[in-house]
Structure 1
């Protein structure tokens, strides 16, 4: 059975494959980005189908989205915490999305029950807003 840190690493490695990333979540698992509410109504998703759709939408907006510079800071069987970065072009704005995520993952029965990711919302807003 996968531990929290194994699940977090699998998620990070599979982010470019929405179906594979979503399959890591429990049926009631949640991908939550609570601080994105200022950028729009969608702040996450629940369940593998919705999570796959959410990640697909992200990749449609940022085709070269991938995580790098992974640092695992907390590693217990049921919880993991890490930081990981993204630097990719947002084609619709011509801006570079440069971001460091902080993710807390809670595992249950070898699946992701909760992945709560925090990020710099100002950097996100700048990347997704047209230049003025």
Structure 2
């Protein structure tokens, strides 16, 4: 029974992921209506080139969007203050569907972003980031990526696993915009135990 429910949830998330990718790549009006996103957030000239390389862990000021994303995923499980330092002072962190579990959908400024991630990290022990696939956006310092995260819920010790799709923009070696998409109903179930 549990395996069937888990498989059903995974298949549901895969459908959502395909729809979001279609939305991001093709800017299809029907996808925007189904998902309920603001079409203006996704520029018409959006192009994707599939690439993946490991960043050189150098001075943060010289990192591009891909390197910043990979560095942030490396730091997230172990050092939140170093993680937050990757963001510009006026950066925006969006969780468009976070209202599902009564969390803010947008945080602006490094301190607000750090506070939100501190809350999230307090919920999950032994956070591990899985394989990351990065897609560069042509014409600007931005990437779209997908990755998995696993761990244990702090409150009840049950396992946590989630698939994420993120869009990251950078300027001057800092993250200026971070949008994160994930299965919020699944996350809400994790929260409820």
Normalised by the length of structure 1, the TM-score is 0.89
* 1:9 Cα deviation after fit: 0.6
Q: Which residue of structure 1 aligns with residue 90 of structure 2?
A: 28
Q: 1:41 to 1:59 in 2, by over 3 A?
A: closer
| Larger CA Rg, structure 1 vs 2 | 2
* 1:44 Cα deviation after fit: 4.1
Equivalent of residue 50 in structure 1, options 107, 112, 131: 112
Q: Which residue of structure 2 aligns with residue 72 of structure 1?
A: 134
Q: Which residue of structure 1 aligns with residue 71 of structure 2?
A: 10
Is contact 2:65–2:168 with CA below 8 Å preserved after alignment? Answer: yes
Larger deviation: 91-100 or 120-129? 91-100
- Unpaired runs of 5+ residues, structure 2, are 1-61
* 1:63 Cα deviation after fit: 2.1
Could you say which structure has the higher helix fraction?
Answer: 2
Considering Cα pairs closer than 8 Å and 6+ residues apart, tell me whether 1 or 2 has the greater RCO. Answer: 1
How far apart are the structure 2 equivalents of 1:93 and 1:40? 20
Q: Which structure 1 residue ranges, 4+ long, deviate > 6 Å from structure 2?
A: none
How many residues matched? Answer: 130
Could you say which structure has the higher strand fraction?
Answer: 1
Q: 1:66 to 1:48 in 2, by over 3 A?
A: farther
Is contact 1:26–1:112 with CA below 8 Å preserved after alignment? Answer: yes
- Unpaired runs of 5+ residues, structure 1, are none
